[in-house]
Amino acid sequence: MSEEKHKGERIAKAIARAGICSRRDAEKLIEKGNVKVNGKQISSAALNITTEDHIVVNGKPLPKLEQTRLFLYHKPPGLVTSHRDEKGRSTVFDELPDHMPRVVSIGRLDLNTEGLLLLTNDGGLSRHLELPDTGWKRKYRVRVNGKVNERRLLSLKNGITVEGVRYKSIDAKLEGQPEDREEAGANSWISITLLEGKNREIRRVMEALGLKVTRLIRTDYGPFSLGKMQRGAVSEVKTDVMSKQISQYFKDKNIVLKRTEPENNTRFGSTNNSEKTNNYKKPYAKSGDSNKNTQKNTGFSKKRDKK
């Protein structure tokens, strides 16, 4: 078919936004001939489509675009952050509740890294929030084994090159008072803040300082915090929070978020006020916002707990 450009959005973006797969995987599906537009097979992702076009992916019509949703997930260690694992290991997505929509991760956490992982049904939002240009900081707590040189730790603000890889400014601070550190022996906790997170960055940088990482927890991603969420728990971000904190994305994509009433989330479990957790950092909010929690802790648990 003629792949003449027209108004709309790139087809790979549309497939990703529908939650089928990532944009990159969508492009691969197109190259393999697994995508049809208006009944005709396409072989190039250089095509814009509109809501009037009929898209079929892997023999199934492209699902109607759902409203963008964002979730916070407390990833336990030992899970792979991918939909498929060639080694057959359990993935984050294997452990999500049955009634969750299909989601993709915003960034990744290593197999043995735990803590806050953002999930969304909007592939475009995932890419947007992964970009360092978004300006969202990632915060971690790292337990290391070895003698910590605080001067070298502070020098990480100037960046560091490890085995030919250049890592940008890293804000790293040793936790606790000196007397507490002595009692802890060879193990110490370090708070680390990154603006970008390259593959295994923290582990490699700590190794370059002569330290072995024995535990790594991501506590914050931009304005969102792990708070007191239990391992395996999922909390959905309210639409009004998304509209404030990710406003530029929705403006650029001309996406209008419809306010979701609390009762619309009852299929994911009800929540008592006493069960709410503070997963949202107020400094990111505009002045005048209320002090109410901006996420609802839905009390999700792993599938294996549902016996």
User: Which one is catalytic: 85, 94, 110, 289?
Assistant: 110
Please state the separation of Cα 35 from the chain's center in Å: 27
Helix orientation angle between 123-130 and 23-31, rounded to the nearest 10 degrees: 130
Residue 150 shares a structural domain with residue 92: no
Give the H/E segment covering residue 183. Answer: helix 178-184
Residue 252 shares a structural domain with residue 205: no
Q: Can you tell me the distance from the alpha carbon of 62 to that of 17, in angstroms, rounded to the nearest whole number?
A: 10
Domain boundary among 43, 61, 79: 61
Which residues constitute the domain of residue 46? 9-61
Residue 230 shares a structural domain with residue 96: yes
Residue 114 shares a structural domain with residue 76: yes
Domain boundary among 206, 221, 236: 221
Q: Can you tell me the distance from the alpha carbon of 261 to that of 105, in angstroms, rounded to the nearest whole number?
A: 25
Q: What is the CATH number of the domain that holds 158?
A: 3.30.70.1560
The CA-based angle 285-221-298, given to 5 degrees, is 80
2: in domain: no
Return per-residue pLDDT of the chain as tens, 307 residues.
344 444 678 898 888 777 778 788 899 999 999 999 999 999 999 999 887 889 999 999 987 777 899 999 999 999 999 888 888 899 999 999 988 888 989 999 999 999 999 999 888 898 889 888 888 999 999 999 999 999 999 999 999 999 999 999 999 999 986 666 666 668 899 999 998 888 899 999 999 999 999 999 999 999 999 999 999 999 999 999 998 989 888 887 777 787 764 333 332 322 333 334 456 554 333 323 333 333 334 333 344 444 3
Report which residue type is found at 252.
Answer: D
Residue 75 shares a structural domain with residue 129: yes
Cβ neighbors of 278 (< 8 A, separation 6 or more) are 225, 227, 228, 293
Residue 81 shares a structural domain with residue 203: no
Active site residue 98: no
Q: Can you tell me the distance from the alpha carbon of 278 to that of 228, in angstroms, rounded to the nearest whole number?
A: 8
Burial zone of 245 (CB within 10 Å; 0-12 exposed, 13-18 middle, 19+ buried): buried
Give the H/E segment covering residue 152. Answer: helix 150-154
Residue 274 shares a structural domain with residue 288: yes
Q: φ, ψ for residue 87 (rounded to 5)?
A: -95, 0
Q: Is 219 helix (H, G, I), strand (E, B) or coil?
A: strand
Q: Can you tell me the distance from the alpha carbon of 219 to that of 279, in angstroms, rounded to the nearest whole number?
A: 10
17: in domain: yes
> Are the C-beta atoms of residues 208 and 173 closer than 8 Å to each other?
no
Q: What is the CATH number of the domain that holds 19?
A: 3.10.290.10
Residue 155 shares a structural domain with residue 36: no
Q: How many domains does the chain have?
A: 3
Q: What is the CATH number of the domain that holds 91?
A: 3.30.70.580
